[in-house]
Chains A and B, each alone.
Chain A
Amino acid sequence: MIPNATDLPVLKPFRPSSPLPGGERSDREAIRVRGFLSAHEFVTPSPRPSPLRGEGEGALRLGPSHLLFLIAALLLAVGIGQAAAAPAAPSILATLIKWTPLLAQGFALNIAMSFLAMGIGTALGFALGLGLISLHRPVRGVAWFLTEFFRNAPWLVLLFYCMLLLPFELRIGDTIIPLPGWMKSTLGLSLAVMANVAELVRGAVNSIPFGQWEASEALAFTRMQTLRMVILPQCIKRMTPPWMNLYAILTVGTPLTSVVGVSEAMTLTGDILAAENRSELLVPMYLYLLLWFFVYCYPIARFTVSLERRFQVR
């Protein structure tokens, strides 16, 4: 590491107001907390005095008009496909509508998997994150290893791992718990979520000014009490926006399970295309599926941004 490997004077007087009101150390931690997914938070940059345009409004903000744009693209594709279709075939729009209930079923599975994986992953990740900040060195080491391992492994590889190496049913005594494919792949996804949540927890805890720990100690709080009553309540608020980012990313990650044979929206789209066997349907059908995800994820992204903005003010 080269300390201060530059003599650029230009940035000296510029002090970005940290998005986390954590004081000294929070800026770097903020990057760590929020930066790992590098996702929706960049819709609105932190409340730095925006140098290029007034009012802190950077480039064009996305409005509902983009949804219209997307629908227009779909309709255009439908139109082009229609022109290419044989005159006798049913219209493409009618075909899309015909298959919508099936697609909705698949999409419901996607959403269910994302909820479940997020729930399991958050629970495990919270524990792992507390392990990361443990005072006990071996615990910290193990937690660090697990976090880094699952953060660095590609999701698809984790999915394959869980899919192929977990048994199809669990036998505990006399009860048999079946483990269907979607369940196993949900576990695979939640492993990835777990590691990311752990990192979030660690970053959030570290972003709390250390003075608060010392103050609690002075007030005779035990470490456990400090964590539970002082530190974690603040962390939860800080963690919410990046956590929702993670959820959005998880949701767009669920179609990966189609590769390992879970019959969710992506797989069903393939099936529908195979059943219809009309090449002019390819573009509209995939666009239609993309639209489903966009409609689901985009409001989440907007909500995350507004949450971030709200939390910054305080």
Chain B
Amino acid sequence: MINLNPLWDWFRTLHETTGINLTIFYDPFDRARFFNGFLTSLRLMAICLVASVVIGVVGAWIQRSRILLLRAVTQGYVQFFRNTPPLVQLYFFYFALGSYVRMTTPTGLSVPAISNFEWAAIGLSLYAGAFNIEIFRAGIEAVPRETIEAAEALGYSRLKAYVYIILPLAFRISLPALNNNLVNLVKTTTISYAIAVPEMLYVANQIWSDELNVPEMMNVLLVIYVSLVGLLVFVMGRWERAMRVPGYSPS
């Protein structure tokens, strides 16, 4: 383990000499809670990324179903979540639905059955999932009909053709749009601040309320988010280029 104390001390000196008060580096308590906030943010992002892609894949499958009602419900879900503000959705989940979903502890207290972190994960996944369904559907529709017919001719069932033939191709076709949506999702996780999920923005708010170092914390926050999202954009861009279907779009 590297001894980081000189680094922390440097930030203390920075504060004493220049007045730039970065408590998250030299104050162990602030450092711990900011780091926890960072981890919470990362966890929320990871969960929502995976869940929203799963929702997208399953939803796109349902949209190809032969049952009209299933398609109608999916389409209603997609349009509803896309045309309403994510923040209001989150409030709706947490305050409105959350007030009904309660359980009683052994001691007789009535507590919410789903924590705010879980509600944030659910709400954001549903929000991004709605976009993903449309993205995957567009990708699926771009898969040539001949390919699907060939799969049928080879005896693939509907599900098998979807899993082995359509989805891999559709996924690669829709990757650019998917990436954009996922990047948006990562940025949108900040709104879980509004229901007091202790993620980075929330923790930063606590810290600047305690230490009165608003400009420093704001800048730290902005730099961290910009570099985090920038990194994601970079990685996704590389992946996108590697996964591009040759002959599908001119490079």
Tell me the A residues contacting B by CB distance below 8 Å: 1-6, 8, 10-12, 14, 16, 24-25, 27-28, 31, 35-40, 42-43, 45-46, 48-52, 58-62, 66, 69-70, 148-149, 152-158, 160-161, 164-165, 248, 252-256, 258-259, 266, 269-270, 273, 279, 282-283, 285-287, 289-290, 293-294, 297-298, 301
Q: Contacts of A253 on B, CB cut-off 8 Å?
A: 85
Tell me the B residues contacting A by CB distance below 8 Å: 63-64, 68, 71-72, 74-76, 79-80, 82-89, 91-92, 95-97, 99-100, 131, 134-135, 137-138, 140-148, 150, 169, 176-178, 180-181, 183-184, 187-191, 193-194, 201, 205, 214-215, 218, 221-222, 225-226, 229-230, 233, 238, 241-243, 245-251
* Min distance, Cβ A301 to any Cβ of chain B, angstroms: 6
* Contact, CB under 8 Å: B225 / A157: yes
* Contact, CB under 8 Å: B190 / A8: no
14 CB < 8 A contacts A-B = A48-B141, A52-B64, A59-B137, A60-B68, A66-B80, A152-B183, A152-B225, A160-B201, A252-B83, A259-B191, A266-B87, A283-B96, A287-B92, A287-B96
Q: Contacts of B87 on A, CB cut-off 8 Å?
A: 255-256, 258-259, 266
Q: Contacts of A8 on B, CB cut-off 8 Å?
A: 169, 245-246
**Which residue of B88, B146, B214 has the most chain A CB atoms within 10 A of its CB atom?**
B88
> Interface SS of chain B: helix, strand, loop or mixed?
helix
> Interface SS of chain A: helix, strand, loop or mixed?
helix
Q: Contacts of A39 on B, CB cut-off 8 Å?
A: 82, 131
Q: Contacts of A153 on B, CB cut-off 8 Å?
A: 187, 222, 225-226, 229
* Contact, CB under 8 Å: B82 / A40: yes
CB-contact partner of A154 in B96, B135, B190, under 8 A? B190
* Contact, CB under 8 Å: A290 / B82: no
